[in-house]
C-alpha cells in the first residue's frame, strides 16, 4: 500500500469523505456558489508576534470569541437573543456565561487580551461590549496585502463545544504554522518550494510553542477525534489542520485535495525537522 492509499485509509477511518473527480468538480461548483455565504474571520499574520505572550487558556478564549463575530460590523461580537429571533451584541456578562467562568475570571482574561489589542471592550451605559481588535483580525472586505489565515466560524463553533479552552488555545497557537498549500505544520508556512519545508512532529509543537509535551500528547488525540487535525503518513508522520477549520487560500480545499497535494510534493525524510 503506497503513501496515498495509507493516507486515504486514515482519512476514511477518521470520518472524512474520499470523492471521485466527477464528485470533486460538482462540489467545486457548489463551493464556489456558496463561498460568499460561508463566514470566516481573518487572523492576520501579526498574531504570530503576540501569541507567545498568551497562555493556552487565553488563546482559547480568544478563538472561542472569534466564532461570534459578525461580518462587516467592525469586529463586534453578537449572540442570539433569548427569544432566538434576533441577535444582540455580546457583553462581558454574556462572555462569562458562555465561557462558564465568573465575571472576575472573565474580566481578568479579557483585560490581558485587551492589553495586546486583541480585543476591545466598550462601555455604553451599564453594558460593556466586546469586539475583536482590528490590528489582528479582519471581519469584512480585505484589500490589504498582509498574510492571513481564515478561520471558519461554523466549524469553529462545533469544535469548541467538544474540547477545553486550553485545547482550543492550542489550535489558535498553531494557526500561523499551517502551510498555505499542504496544511501541514511546518517551520516555514509560506515556502513555495516543498523541498525546503521543515515538517513538525508532536515534539516540535511542544518545543516551538513552549508547551508541555505531556499536554500535547493528551491534546492531539482529542483534536483528531473532533477532526480539527489529522496525522498522516508523508514518509514519516505529519500533522495537518483541517481545511474545514482554517485555510490560507482564496478557495477552501477539500481534505482529498490536500492529501493529493502532499502526495505530489515528494517529501523525503530530510523534510522532517530533527
* DSSP reduced 3-state for 34: helix
| Residue 103 placed within a domain | yes
The predicted pLDDT at position 235 comes to: 85
CA distance 114 to 80: 24
The predicted pLDDT at position 143 comes to: 65
* DSSP reduced 3-state for 267: coil
| Residue 240 placed within a domain | yes
Q: Does 264 lie in the same domain as 195?
A: yes
CATH number at residue 206: 1.10.10
| Residue 26 placed within a domain | no
| Residue 251 placed within a domain | yes
The predicted pLDDT at position 183 comes to: 98
Q: Does 266 lie in the same domain as 185?
A: yes
Q: Does 125 lie in the same domain as 192?
A: no
Q: Does 188 lie in the same domain as 119?
A: no
Sign of CA dihedral 109, 115, 117, 123: positive
CATH number at residue 53: 1.10.10.10
| Residue 128 placed within a domain | yes
Cα 100 to Cα 34, 62, 79, 93, 105, distances in angstroms: 34, 14, 16, 11, 10
* Residue ranges for the chain with pLDDT beneath 70: 1-38, 84, 142-144
The predicted pLDDT at position 177 comes to: 97
Q: Does 130 lie in the same domain as 78?
A: yes
| Residue 27 placed within a domain | no
Which domain does 206 fall in, by range? 176-270
The predicted pLDDT at position 147 comes to: 87
Concatenate the DSSP letters of all residues of 197-257 into one string: --B--HHHHHHHHT--HHHHHHHHHHHHHTTSEEEEEESEEEEEE-TTTEESSSSPPPHHH
| Residue 143 placed within a domain | no
> What total of structural domains would you count in the chain?
2
Amino acid at each position: 500500500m503506497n503513501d496515498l492509499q495509507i493516507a486515504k485509509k486514515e482519512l476514511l477511518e477518521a470520518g472524512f469523505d474520499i470523492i471521485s473527480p466527477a464528485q470533486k468538480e460538482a462540489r467545486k461548483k457548489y463551493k464556489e456558489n456558496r463561498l460568499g455565504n460561508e463566514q470566516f474571520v481573518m487572523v492576520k499574520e501579526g498574531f504570530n508576534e503576540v501569541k507567545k505572550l498568551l497562555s493556552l487558556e487565553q488563546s482559547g478564549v480568544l478563538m472561542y470569541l472569534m466564532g461570534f463575530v459578525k461580518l462587516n460590523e467592525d469586529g463586534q461580537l453578537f449572540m442570539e437573543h433569548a427569544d432566538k429571533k434576533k441577535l444582540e451584541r455580546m457583553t462581558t456578562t454574556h462572555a462569562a456565561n458562555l465561557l462558564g467562568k465568573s465575571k472576575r475570571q472573565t474580566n481578568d482574561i479579557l483585560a490581558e487580551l485587551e492589553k495586546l489589542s486583541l480585543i476591545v471592550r466598550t462601555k455604553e451605559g451599564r453594558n460593556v461590549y466586546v469586539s475583536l481588535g482590528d490590528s489582528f483580525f479582519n471581519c469584512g472586505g480585505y484589500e490589504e496585502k498582509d498574510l492571513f489565515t481564515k478561520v471558519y466560524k461554523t466549524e469553529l463553533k462545533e469544535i469548541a463545544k467538544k474540547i477545553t479552552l486550553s485545547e482550543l488555545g492550542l489550535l489558535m497557537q498553531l494557526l500561523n504554522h499551517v502551510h498555505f498549500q499542504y496544511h501541514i505544520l511546518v517551520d516555514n508556512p509560506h515556502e513555495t518550494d516543498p523541498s525546503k519545508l521543515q515538517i513538525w512532529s508532536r515534539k516540535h509543537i511542544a518545543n516551538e510553542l513552549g508547551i508541555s509535551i505531556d499536554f500535547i500528547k493528551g491534546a492531539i488525540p482529542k483534536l483528531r477525534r473532533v477532526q480539527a487535525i489529522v496525522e498522516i503518513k508523508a514518509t514519516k508522520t505529519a500533522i495537518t489542520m483541517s481545511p474545514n477549520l482554517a485555510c490560507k487560500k482564496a478557495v477552501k480545499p477539500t481534505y482529498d485535495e490536500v492529501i493529493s497535494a502532499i502526495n505530489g510534493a515528494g517529501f523525503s525524510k530530510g523534510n522532517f525537522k530533527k
